[in-house]
Homo-oligomer: A and B are copies of this chain.
Amino acid sequence: MLAKSPSRILLAAVSLLGSPSLSVSACIASKSKLPKYPPFSSSCFGLRSVVRVAETEMEADAAQEARNREAFRQAVVNTLERRLFYIPSFKIYRGVAGLYDYGPPGCAVKSNILAFWRQHFVLEENMLEVDCPCVTPEIVLKASGHVDKFTDLMVKDEKTGTCYRADHLLKDFCKEKLERDPAVSTEKAAEFRHVLAILDGLSPEELGAKIKGYGITAPDTKNPLSAPFPFNLMFQTSIGPSGVSPGYMRPETAQGIFVNFKDLYYYNGSKLPFAAAQIGQAFRNEISPRQGLLRVREFTLAEIEHFVDPEDKSHPKFSEVSDLEFLMFPREDQVSGQAARRICLGEAVSEGIVNNETLGYFIGRVFLFLTHLGIDKERLRFRQHLANEMAHYAADCWDAEIECSYGWIECVGIADRSAYDLWAHTDKSGVPLVAAVKFSEPREVEKLVIAPVKKELGLAFKGDQKRVVETLEAMGEKEAMEMKATLESKGEVEFHVCTLGKDVTIKKSMVTISKEKKKEHQRVFTPSVIEPSFGIGRIIYCLYEHSFYTRPSRGGDEQLNVFRFPPLVAPIKCTVFPLVQNQQYEEVAKRIAKSLTAAGISYKIDITGTSIGKRYARTDELGVPLAVTVDSTSSVTLRERDSKQQIRVNVEEVASVVKEVTDGLSTWADVLWKYPTHSFGTTED
């Protein structure tokens, strides 16, 4: 975790982007018997059972596994970069660390995922989607806590001024010692593991002491390092020409929703619950970005703020997800060293593992969303935040973590943030961000009334009067009733005025305290916020790893790359290949292409003379699910990517068959039943 104070930042934006590698829970979870990444080959990225073993054995396995993981990641990343799924931004100018472009297939995958997100969340729940600017004035981020607390600890090379993240240096040092230094004693190894486990909780002073104690120096120069100091991670700018209005590029999209609560509540007919949503860019000026696409300086967030009455967090549609069963990792299991386990969501809520139905509903919907995209459900877990990860005001918080070659990555945070955010903006702006529920009939309530007698107080305290009055009025019910009793029995009482930093004597004549009965027609309160927050780039990267596999070419002489994207995600739905270069086939191909455009299906046409096998391989590597090969003028061959099965379809019909499958109205199996299979002619090499 990056922010050290219990603020919103701990729960949402940072958590989405926080250090995805070793954390307490990750350490525990990685104690599996079978290596997570077997020697890299074509087909061995299957499931693994999780069994605990002795630590020494684990470390030997871990080193081998680390090499395999690295090889697998390289294979994926090479394919992604070669096929322009992404491009290091401003590459011709040698790039900028932590900035990446989505190239054509990556951009299509992203917009497919965002369209499905809109369908699955916004449309399904009738959410109010908004779109706010990235440029944000300081006052908003002051209220949210980002100006003061959205920081990482940094150390500087004392000679060159180069900056490093303090926790990264310490982490690297410990990992290096554990993985590569055979001379490390058992006690020392235990110490390094302990440091890794508590890393996120270290204060600046503790972190500095460890760095000094281990003699860690600047990695590039071996120069000594400064003591750790906080660096604010927001990109700062200035709004308008005068230079007097500081602004920041938003670190999350949520604040734009909170500041609009009043209008949105009214738009929703002044009724709770309702949810608002926003998709947009967020920014984070990383000290030294690493881990490729997982830790970047600009990224797309999709955030939901579900506003709910704190006294009723039930959800009318909870029953639709309560039977789901998947890997959950409750706080207690993490602390007691157990592994994540399959839990039925309904039971998790009824047993109080998950705080409330609404939080549970969103956990279930997130599970459906991610698995629908193609995330392997055996490598997806919902991990509850430990007590020290959570802000004091938060009711509960779960991260959807996806396992990839970097470890378990936080991709979605689902937090019950109670009333904190609305309260913080109410406090700072003076605009009440509250909701009201009318009682069916007026209720009689007892209300505490504190009436300072200003004349008496003025005589007694003169210039301090105002502060004494304010402090009296701010008393809670218990304190006030105690004062009343003391005043009645003793006639005066010692009273601490914190804004004066001293005690004063309050006499009976100076204040009247009473309880009055009043009729109330409604209950006015600050709504609770339940926030599912999606790091779209991280989801996409994990999906790439989960979708990637290799298989031997027909000749067996090379390994071919495939992305097994479901049609929903696939950047291009279909390719069109004339089998051989001739005008007749090319005209049929163009006719089919036109009908695909009319049906709104993205396609790629390849009229090069390359062998059909090579053309299939090229598009398998882009994850294109279906290929149309024009091998006659009346009917064509339709081939499915993963099974390589082929059927014959009439030219006129082919666009509608492709549409049926890619829209999810039919499966490939359905289509196989309806059309003759094709096993001759267009071989793969």
Whether, in the assembled complex, A643 has its beta carbon less than 8 Å from a beta carbon of chain B, the answer is no
User: Given contacts A92-B429, A101-B260, are A237 and B240 in contact (CB under 8 A)?
Assistant: no
* Partner pick for A96 among B110, B137, B425, CB 8 A cutoff: B137
A634 within 8 A of B: no
Contacts known (A92-B262, A241-B154); A134 close to B134, Cβ less than 8 A: yes
Please measure, in the bound complex, the distance between the C-alpha atom of A107 and the C-alpha atom of B124, giving whole angstroms. 17
A130 with B118: CB separation less than 8 A: no
| Chain A interface residue bracket vs B | 35 or more
Are the C-beta atoms of B101 and A133 separated by less than 8 Å? yes
Query: A132 near B: Cβ within 8 Å?
Result: yes
- Report yes or no: A123 in contact with B161, Cβ–Cβ below 8 A: no
Contacts of A154 in B (CB 8 A): 241
**Selected interface stretch from A280-288, A350-358, A451-459:** A280-288
Could you mark each residue 124-151 of chain A with 1 if its beta carbon is under 8 Å from any beta carbon of chain B, else 0? 1010111111111101100000000000
Q: Out of B139, B161, B604, which one reaches A93, CB within 8 Å?
A: B139
A656 at the A/B interface (Cβ < 8 Å)?
no
Chain A residues 264-295 with CB under 8 Å of chain B are: 264, 267, 269, 276, 281, 283, 285-288
Please encode chain A, from 283 to 311, with 1 for each CB lying within 8 Å of some chain B CB and 0 for all others: 10111100000000110000000000000
Q: How far does the Cβ of A285 sit from chain B's closest Cβ, in whole Å? A: 7
Contact A237:B239 (CB < 8 A) given known A84-B267, A602-B123: no
Once A134-B281, A239-B285, A241-B287 are accepted as A-B contacts, the answer to whether A104 and B298 lie under 8 Å apart by CB is no
Contact present for A101 and B129 (CB under 8 Å):
no
Q: Which of B110, B130, B431 makes the CB contact (< 8 A) with A131?
A: B110
Q: A241-B285, A267-B104 are in contact. Are A92 and B135 (CB under 8 A)?
A: no
Question: B residues within 8 A CB of A605?
Answer: 126
Q: Are B298 and A135 in contact (CB under 8 A)?
A: yes
**With known contacts A92-B259, A131-B101, A163–B242 Cβ distance under 8 A:** yes
The reply to whether A242 and B162 form a contact with Cβ atoms under 8 Å apart is: yes
Cα–Cα distance between A83 and B267 once the two chains are bound (Å) = 7
- Docked pose: A123 CA to B162 CA in angstroms: 46
A99 at the interface (CB under 8 A from B): yes
Query: In the bound complex, do residue B129 and residue A91 qualify as a contact, i.e. CB atoms below 8 Å apart?
Result: no
Instruction: Report if A137-B90 is in contact (Cβ < 8 Å); known contacts: A249-B249, A297-B239.
Output: yes
Residues of B within 8 A of A425 (CB): 92
The listed residue with most B CB atoms (<10 A of its CB), out of A83, A237, A281, is A237
Q: Does A318 contact B (CB under 8 A)?
A: no
Query: When the two chains form the complex, which single residue of B101, B119, B604 contacts A256, counting CB atoms closer than 8 Å?
Result: B101
For the complex, give the distance between the alpha carbons of A429 and B235 in Å. Answer: 26
> At the interface, yes or no: A103 with Cβ under 8 Å from chain B?
yes
Q: Is A434 an interface residue (CB 8 A)?
A: no
Assess whether B107 is in contact with A163, with CB atoms less than 8 Å apart.
no
**Interface check A553, CB cutoff 8 A:** no
**Residues in B whose Cβ lies below 8 Å from that of A97:** 240
Residues of B within 8 A of A460 (CB): none
Q: Tell yes or no: A173 within 8 A of B by CB.
A: no
Oligomer copy total: 2
User: Per-position contact with B for A376-417: 1 when CB-CB < 8 Å, else 0?
Assistant: 000000000000000000000000000000000000000000
What's the least CB distance linking A252 to chain B, in Å? 15
What residue of chain B has the Cβ atom nearest to residue A139's Cβ?
Answer: B93
A104 near B128 (CB under 8 angstroms)?
Answer: yes
Asked whether, in the complex, the Cβ of B119 is within 8 Å of the Cβ of A259, the reply is no
Assuming A240-B97, A242-B161, A600-B119, is B285 touching A89 (CB within 8 A)? no
Residue A645 lies at the interface, judged by CB distance under 8 Å to chain B: no
A238 to B297, CA, bound (A): 12
Contact B298 A134 (CB under 8 A): yes
A597 interfacial contact with B, CB 8 Å: yes
Q: Is A608 an interface residue (CB 8 A)?
A: yes
A107 touches B130 (CB 8 A): yes
Q: Which of B83, B136, B240, B604 contacts A90 (CB 8 A)?
A: B136
Evaluate whether A135 and B235 lie within 8 angstroms (CB atoms) in the complex, with A103-B260, A123-B602, A600-B123 already known: yes
Known: A131-B102, A298-B133. Contact between A235 and B238, CB under 8 A? yes
A349 at the interface (CB under 8 A from B): no
CB proximity of A63 to chain B, nearest CB, Å: 33
CA distance in complex: A9, B633 (Å): 50
Residues of B within 8 A of A96 (CB): 135, 137, 239, 245, 247
Tell me if A40 counts as interface (CB < 8 A to partner B).
no
Shortest distance between the CB of A143 and any CB in chain B (Å):
8
Q: Chain A, 415-447, contact with B by CB distance < 8 Å: what is the 0/1 string? A: 000000000010011010100000000000000
Out of B103, B263, B597, name the residue touching A91 (CB < 8 Å): B263
Q: Which of chain B's residues have a CB closer than 8 A to the CB of A124?
A: 597
The answer on a CB contact under 8 Å between A92 and B431 is yes
- Specify which chain B residues have a CB less than 8 angstroms from the CB of A603 in the assembled complex: 126
Q: Which residues of B contact A326 (CB under 8 A)?
A: none
For A137, what are the chain B residues with a Cβ–Cβ distance below 8 Å? Answer: 90, 93, 96
Contacts of A597 in B (CB 8 A): 123-124
A241 CB to closest chain B CB (Å) equals 4
Identify which of A96, A241, A283 gathers the most chain B CB atoms within 10 Å of its CB: A241
Judging by beta carbons under 8 Å apart, are A297 and B90 in contact?
Answer: no
CB distance from A90 to the nearest CB of B (A): 6
Q: Report how far A433 CA is from B608 CA in the complex, Å.
A: 24
Other A-B contacts than A87-B260, A111-B129, 14 sampled, CB-CB below 8 A, are A90-B259, A91-B259, A92-B433, A93-B139, A93-B428, A96-B239, A101-B131, A111-B118, A126-B605, A134-B283, A135-B249, A235-B238, A237-B237, A249-B249
23 contacts between A and B (CB under 8 A): A83-B267, A84-B264, A90-B139, A90-B259, A91-B263, A92-B433, A93-B429, A99-B133, A101-B260, A103-B128, A104-B276, A106-B131, A111-B118, A123-B600, A124-B597, A126-B605, A133-B298, A134-B298, A135-B249, A163-B241, A235-B237, A237-B237, A239-B285
